[in-house]
Amino acid sequence: MNEMACEISLCIIVKDEKENLSRCVESVKDIVDEIIIVDIGSTDNTVEIAKIYGVKAYYFQWCNDFSAAMNESLKYATKDWVLIMDADDEFCKEDKEKFKMLVTNLDENTVYLFEIMCYFGIQSSNNLTINLNPRLFKNNYGYSYEGVIYSQLINKNHSTKEKGEFIKIYHYEHLNNSLISKNKSKRNITILEEEIKKNPQSKFNYFNLGNEYSFINNEKNALESYYKAYEGFDETTGFGPRLIERIVMSNYNLEYYNKALEFIETGLKYYSQCTDLYYFKGLILSIQDKPTLAIKAFEKCIEMGATPLIFKFIYGTDGFKATYELAQIYMKLKDYDTAYDYCIQTIKLKPDYLVPLYNIAHILKEKQIPMDEFKKSIEKFFTDFPRKYFIAADLFYMEGYYETALEYINKYEIETGIPEELKFFKIKCLIRSSKFDECIEYTKNIFQDNLYYFQAMMYKIICYVIMNKYELALKVISGFNENKLLYHNKKAFQVYRQFFNIVTDKPTSTLSEDENETSYTSTIFEICEIILINKELDKFEKSLDLLNLISDKSVLLQLGKLYNKHGYIDMAKKEITNSIKLFGVIDREALEILKIDSV
């Protein structure tokens, strides 16, 4: 054991990482003694950026073998220990002190595994998976990498062990905006398929192939690869827990719920401490409308406490994710007191997770809390006004309190100004608050380069129609050239044009005779809802004629839900019943509406 701080070499493989490298190096430069990059073919200024930081840069001819590049980087490491990071990694600043303590007490026969927090979708701490990967090991001690894509660290000279540490590294490769990530996956699939041809017995290659297919959302191919990896399953294999979880997740994503449950039970026989499996069990049982069993599964997640590092994969299943799902179940059961308690628990466990506030707002509405008290109850969750004014506005908007939402958005605008993306939100509040003149005037603040310009102009048409100013509505319509509109906007524009024809008693044209064409439906119902909210019932009746211009069989079901949302329960039941009789279309939400006692 070494009681003095060891010196650390950081090794990074790079290719076209100009967007990421600075973040990576900045996050770690004060806790390592040497930084080495090996460039495998950058065409941007990655290497120049590296040199700004005094990084030692070397070049390696890419040969479709990531381990070869990794081993090349190890040749240049001169310090006692090697830390491995990707260019799109970021060392967690809160864990730097843990790292500094660790390097004063390292064991040369131990490989240290860190928690790799992988972001998916958008950069949000709610969209994370966790992998436990080897990142710190003794230099010049016989370590090398094998595997063309997913490198495995091996040591042929010494008997070594692995030890997990609660030290986090954030990994950003698989964010939504990462086209590079998708291209990498396609490249990796090709390489892995070639490797499988050479060595068809390698379960690890099939596992990694499944992961790559999953990254590009090809879950069927992913599942096929995972099943190949599962043949002759050995629970002691290092990637065994991950394989079971991946099989469960792919089945879940494909809605093969019973198969997913089978593998959950299999997995729990081998890995009884794997909280994620209980979490997915709860999700599936909830979908299958088995709330009592789902509650048991989520309660088990909480009861188990902190998940052992080796079984950590989905972030938060032992805490805020489980309490949030319990809140969701109790919301469906209309047990609002219990739901509220779980919402509060969720926020306490993860204060930056604001989704439970939407449940809380709905609970306060159901309990008919007076508006002043309602607002105080919501505001107590925020400490950083004015930034949170928008979130408060959205909460009230979602519950149909449009004027209150407008109050908050106006406060936001007065104190900080309003960014372009929120201007349309204000227009949505104005039109739903019957402030038509103000809404029309505010559209002047939205210019053609604004992403929401088209939608704002369409709302202007609704305002003019409600105000019976048909000539002005026609002027807005005439200002657009349909042929120059984007595909989605073109279809919405066609709806608005037919809407104008209906309210002005002009001839109409069929929008679609295709039963599978649903792209017109959402625009039609948005128009109908805005008019219904404003209690323009004659115009609402006319707007419903838009439904006769499409062939989507779900329209009566959706109309029933619209009536229910706005308190017209008898009308809701009538349309849902018609949906069943005429089209055979029904879903769980509609069945619940049919159970509501009529007022």
The full 3-state SS of 416-479, as one line of letters, equals HCCCHHHHHHHHHHHHHCCCHHHHHHHHHHCCCCCCCHHHHHHHHHHHHHHCCCHHHHHHHHHC
Which one, of 300, 254, 257, lies nearest residue 279 by Cα?
300
Residue 260 has pLDDT above 90, yes or no: yes
Q: What is the pLDDT of residues 430-465, one digit of tens each?
A: 999 999 999 999 999 999 988 899 999 999 999 999
Question: CA 417 → CA 350, 391, 411, distances in Å?
Answer: 29, 15, 9
Residue 125 has pLDDT above 60, yes or no: no
52 and 165 in a common domain: yes
Question: CA 315 → CA 135, 222, 233, 306, 307, distances in Å?
Answer: 20, 22, 26, 11, 10
Rounded to the nearest integer, the mean pLDDT of the chain is 93
Residue 542 has pLDDT above 90, yes or no: yes
Per residue, the 3-state secondary structure of 357-386, as one string, reads: HHHHHHHHHHCCCCHHHHHHHHHCCCCCCC
| pLDDT value, residue 150 | 81
Task: Please report which confidence band the pLDDT of residue 309 belongs to, taking 50, 70 and 90 as the band edges.
Answer: confident
Token duo for residue 190: 């090709």
Distance of CA 147 to the CA centre of its chain: 31
**Rounded distance, CA 27 to CA 94, Å?**
11
| 215 located within any domain | yes
**Rounded distance, CA 409 to CA 397, Å?**
10
Tell whether the torsion through CA atoms of 282, 165, 170 and 215 is positive or negative.
negative
Which one, of 426, 382, 429, lies nearest residue 530 by Cα?
429
Domain that holds residue 394: 373-409
Residue 149 has pLDDT above 90, yes or no: no
Indicate the residue type of 20. N
**Rounded distance, CA 276 to CA 288, Å?**
18
| pLDDT value, residue 178 | 53
| pLDDT value, residue 2 | 45
| 329 located within any domain | no
Residue 4 has pLDDT above 90, yes or no: no
294 and 171 in a common domain: no
Report, as an integer, the average pLDDT of 307-326.
92
Task: Please report which confidence band the pLDDT of residue 179 belongs to, taking 50, 70 and 90 as the band edges.
Answer: low
| pLDDT value, residue 598 | 65
Task: Please report which confidence band the pLDDT of residue 1 belongs to, taking 50, 70 and 90 as the band edges.
Answer: very low
User: Rounded to the nearest 10 degrees, how much is the dihedral formed by the CA atoms of 79, 82, 83, 84?
Assistant: 130
167 and 23 in a common domain: yes
Residue where one domain finishes, among candidates 294, 324, 354: 324
- Share of residues in the chain with pLDDT > 90 (%): 84
Are 53 and 29 in contact by the 8 Å Cβ rule? The answer is: yes
**Rounded distance, CA 159 to CA 555, Å?**
67
CATH number, domain containing residue 103: 3.90.550.10
Report, as an integer, the average pLDDT of 332-337.
96
Residue 389 has pLDDT above 70, yes or no: yes
Q: What is the pLDDT of residues 544-565, one digit of tens each?
A: 999 999 999 999 999 999 999 9
Sequence-distant (6+) residues with CB within 8 A of 526 are: none
159 and 89 in a common domain: yes
SS3 assignment, position 128: strand
Token duo for residue 124: 């949000």
| pLDDT value, residue 119 | 83
Q: What is the DSSP letter of 178?
A: -
Q: What is the pLDDT of residues 406-425, one digit of tens each?
A: 999 999 999 888 888 889 99
Residue 597 has pLDDT above 90, yes or no: no
Residue where one domain finishes, among candidates 381, 409, 437: 409
Report, as an integer, the average pLDDT of 368-385.
91
Which one, of 76, 66, 75, lies nearest residue 40 by Cα?
66
Report, as an integer, the average pLDDT of 112-127.
76
**Rounded distance, CA 488 to CA 96, Å?**
48
| 123 located within any domain | yes
Report, as an integer, the average pLDDT of 122-148.
85
Token duo for residue 101: 């303590």
Residue 176 has pLDDT above 70, yes or no: no
* Range among 142-151, 363-372, 374-383 with highest mean pLDDT value: 363-372
| 67 located within any domain | yes
Q: What is the pLDDT of residues 64-107, one digit of tens each?
A: 899 999 999 999 999 999 999 999 999 999 999 999 999 999 99
* Number of domains making up the chain: 4
| pLDDT value, residue 126 | 64
114 and 61 in a common domain: yes
| 579 located within any domain | no
184 and 152 in a common domain: no
| pLDDT value, residue 18 | 92
| 89 located within any domain | yes
Q: How far is the first Cα of the chain from the last one, in angstroms, to the nearest whole number?
A: 76
Which one, of 257, 256, 253, 235, lies nearest residue 311 by Cα?
235
pLDDT, greater one: 217 or 277: 277
Tell whether the torsion through CA atoms of 209, 215, 216 and 219 is positive or negative.
positive
Report, as an integer, the average pLDDT of 104-123.
87
Question: CA 433 → CA 393, 418, 426, 446, distances in Å?
Answer: 13, 19, 11, 19
Indicate the residue type of 76. Y
With b for 16 or more beta-carbon neighbours within 10 A and e for fewer, the 354-368 pattern comes to bebbbbbbbbbeeee
| Of the listed ranges 56-65, 95-104, 173-182, 335-344, the one predicted with least confidence | 173-182
Task: Please report which confidence band the pLDDT of residue 540 belongs to, taking 50, 70 and 90 as the band edges.
Answer: very high
| 484 located within any domain | yes
189 and 66 in a common domain: no
| pLDDT value, residue 68 | 95
Q: What is the DSSP letter of 2?
A: B
Per residue, the 3-state secondary structure of 86-118, as one string, reads: CCCEEECHHHHHHHHHHCCCECCCEEEEEEEEE
| 401 located within any domain | yes
CATH number, domain containing residue 306: 1.25.40.10
